[in-house]
Amino acid sequence: MSSKFSQLVDSAQEFLPLLPWGVEFEKDKFLRSDFTSLDVVSFASSGIPAGINIPNYDEIRQNEGFKNVSLGNVLSAASQDKRVTFLTTEDQGVFTDLRDKVINPLTGDKIRSWYNPGETWDTQFSTIASTYEECRAECVSIYLSTDRNILRIFGYEGAEAEDIMYVNWLSMLRAGLIALEFYTPETKKWRQAHMQACYVILRVLMDSDTPVFNIESVTGSDGKPDLLIRFDRNKLETIAKPVIGEFLNKLQIYKSTADISSGQLLYNKY
């Protein structure tokens, strides 16, 4: 898996122009990151991430470089038999089938596998800097997940690639719904930057002029109120991707130009 991530990094300068902003808003010089897949024994945190970008100091990442680490066994740690919440029966099959098909080809087992001087991104965007950046990263991931050349790097083409693309976006919608568990209505505060980012993406797609998904209020098999997400996969590339692309473009430009007021207005709207 590390070799595939390395291949992705090697092709980065080919894929970066696919993002919805011009070269004026990219770094003057591309810094090649190290991308490694690791298995973790323990992680001292209230929530274990599936991947991390280190170090957490933007001035170091900007000038020196950075490392991307995918925590491979975190992705495979979920119960294989547990029903995935908020998904329809037909989506359960696609979601589960793809998870079960991810194997180690060698063993046949499942993979375990600008700004003025003195100013920085964190000092300027302050309280929203962390969640804003998480949101930008997530938007980049789903936006580029529709590129067949990127999917091909990981060995996926045809119908299976289409399913992976669909489940990737469906997972983001589901994460946005689950994110509400990390919001405190009494204080109107989010307790987790990444979950706020997922919720923002959900809301961006929800506000699309042309609906791409709906959330149904239903009665679960236990007789209790439940929710179901219905995502129109036929609108993924025609509606959903352009909506996220437009939003992502704004995130990038506001960050690149230190347009704090516009960035806060955009992000805090959700």
Rounded to whole angstroms, how far apart are CA atoms 125 and 62? 16
DSSP string across 148-192: HHHHHHTT--HHHHHHHHHHHHHHHHHHHHHGGGGEETTTTEES-
- State how far the Cα of 103 lies from the Cα of 111, in Å rounded to an integer: 5
pLDDT at 20: 79
3-state secondary structure of 87: strand
Q: Which of 84, 107, 86 is nearest to 95 (CA)?
A: 84
Q: How many CB atoms lie within 10 A of CB 248?
A: 23
Q: Is the pLDDT of residue 103 over 60?
A: no
Query: What is the spatial distance between Cα 210 and Cα 189, in angstroms, rounded to a whole number?
Result: 30
Q: Cα 181–183–188 angle (5° rounding)?
A: 160
Beta bridge partners of 216: 228
The answer to whether residue 72 scores a pLDDT higher than 90 is no
Is 101 a residue whose pLDDT tops 90? no
Residues 111-129 pLDDT 10s: 453 577 788 888 888 889 9
Residue predicted with more confidence, 87 or 267: 267
Query: What's the pLDDT tens digit per position in 183-230?
Result: 999 999 999 999 999 999 999 999 999 999 999 999 888 889 999 999
Query: What's the Cα-to-Cα distance from 117 to each of 121, 209, 260, rounded to whole Å?
Result: 12, 41, 16
* More confident site: 252 or 231: 231
Q: Is pLDDT at 133 greater than 50 in this prediction?
A: yes
Copy the structure tokens of residue 194: 């990444």
> Which residue has tokens 């997972």?
171
Half-sphere exposure of 141 (CA within 13 A, CB side): 17
> What pLDDT sits at residue 104?
44
* Residue-wise DSSP of 196-210: HHHHHHHHHHHT-SS
Confidence bin at 106 (pLDDT 50/70/90): very low
Higher pLDDT, 259 or 51: 259
Q: What is the pLDDT of residue 14?
A: 82
Chain center to CA of 30: 22
pTM of the model: 0.64
pLDDT level of residue 76 (50, 70, 90 thresholds): low
Nearest to 99 by CA among 45, 147, 150, 160: 160
**pLDDT value of position 15:** 82
Task: Calculate mean pLDDT across residues 144-168.
Answer: 92
pLDDT at res. 145:
93
Phi, psi of 11 (to 5 degrees): -95, 5
> What is the rounded distance in angstroms from the CA atom of residue 225 to the CA atom of residue 221?
9
